[in-house]
Amino acid sequence: MRGLMGSFSLMPLQDVAELLARHKISGSLTCERGTVRKTIHLREGDAVGAASNDPREFLGQLLMNFGHITEEQLTKAFQTQEETKVRLGKVLVMVGLVQPETIRQVLAIKIRETILDAFIWDSGVFHVDDGPAPHADDLDATVPMADIVKEAEFRATAWNAFRAQFPTGAASLIIDEARIPPATREDTVDGRLIMLAIEGKTIDEIGLALHATDFHLYQRLYALARQGVLSSAPIRVVPPGAASEAMAAAELLEQARSLLAAERHEEAEEKAARAVDVAPGLEAARAVLADAQRALLGRLRALLEPTRVPVLRLSSHEVALVRLSSPEKYLLSRCDGQRELRRIAQVAPLSELEVLKAFRKFVEAAIVELR
């Protein structure tokens, strides 16, 4: 199986997963689409670990999503992890915040969410590498690949139903408060979801506030819609322009290389990311994108030194008038004058690069001051 690689347009992930399970492969499966990269570690056909650069699939994010820890507790756990160099799950068990069985259960969810999200990709590339599985740990989880394939089949049907009910994450929600089940507590996922919807948050904004993966979010939305509690508000969807698609990946890549050479890192990242979107299998575009992101991140990390605390310079009314994306609105909601920028970046369901790009924008627009 060494060296198995290909494109999902030619070999769907379901076929790859079934092959790995049938041959009881040990090693790793890596899936990439655009800037997203996911790796599943395998031991004799079972998934025993997962890594992803999507922060929503990090262990800490999932523990917050399911209500096992708070954002403040996660922040303190990260501080302990930095001091002790111990894995996050072990830190949370050591300080008594989470039981070992809960860590194992959430790690199993992490494995499933990491790989199951890739089953619905219609483009992207994969490669399988032989090699020993990670060292076994008493907090590890094991999920048979055969079970993941079965769940993927169910989810494909579920997503069709979800998208029929909620076509876009840019929509807000209409709540029928008379239909909210009396037993729904504010500290539950459904309770928090409903309160955010009542506040006028869009589906995308609710997902960020809950630190939820797409499937878990839409699963709860659909269940509440079936109960008559909520529905999607109408929204006019503007089809994306075709201009960026018309430019060949090779031309985008050449532009990205020129911009990178001129140290215009953000523009280089944008062009390279578009090249990867147009041609997911173009390794040269991935390499340029990685170089641009590393360089840009290196520059933006200056925002973290020395320790900085972001403070809003506008009133909440003035902030509401500024045109912002869902992630930007989420990040501004964390600016309470107490949280350090470094800690916001650690616990946000966004990549460090996304966080720092947003805060640079806030500073330049005089929305936020770093003290």
Q: So what's the pLDDT on residue 220?
A: 96
* Cis-peptide into 181, omega within 30 deg: no
- Sheet with 36-43: strands ordered across: 5-7, 125-130, 27-33, 36-43, 46-52, 143-144
* pLDDT tens by residue, 98-123: 999 999 999 999 999 999 989 988 78
For residue 17, pLDDT over 60 is answered with: yes
Contacts of residues 352-357 at CB distance under 8 Å and 24 or more positions apart, as own/partner, are: 352/297, 353/293, 353/296, 353/297, 353/300, 354/327, 355/331, 356/297, 356/300, 356/301, 356/303, 356/304, 357/266, 357/296, 357/300
| Percent above pLDDT 70 for the chain | 95
Provide mean pLDDT across the span 338-342.
94
The whole model's pTM is what? 0.84
Cβ(155)–Cβ(112) below 8 Å? no
pLDDT value of residue 243: 46
Please count the helices (runs of H) and the strands (runs of E) in the chain: 17, 10
β-strands 230-232, 143-144: how paired? unpaired
Helix, coil or strand: residue 6: strand
How far is residue 360's CA from residue 371's CA, in Å, rounded to a whole number? 14
Mean pLDDT, the chain, whole residue set:
91
Q: What is the pLDDT of residues 262-307, one digit of tens each?
A: 999 999 999 998 888 887 777 888 899 999 999 999 999 999 988 8
pLDDT: which is higher, 4 or 242: 4
pLDDT surpassing 80 at residue 233 = yes
Question: What pLDDT is attached to residue 2?
Answer: 64
In contact, 219 and 113? CB cutoff 8 Å: no
Is pLDDT of 317 > 50?
A: yes
Give me the pLDDT at residue 244, please: 46
Q: Minimum mean pLDDT among 17-31, 269-283, 315-329: which range?
A: 269-283
Name the band, by pLDDT with cuts 50, 70 and 90, for residue 22: very high
What confidence tier does 246 reach under pLDDT thresholds 50, 70, 90?
very low
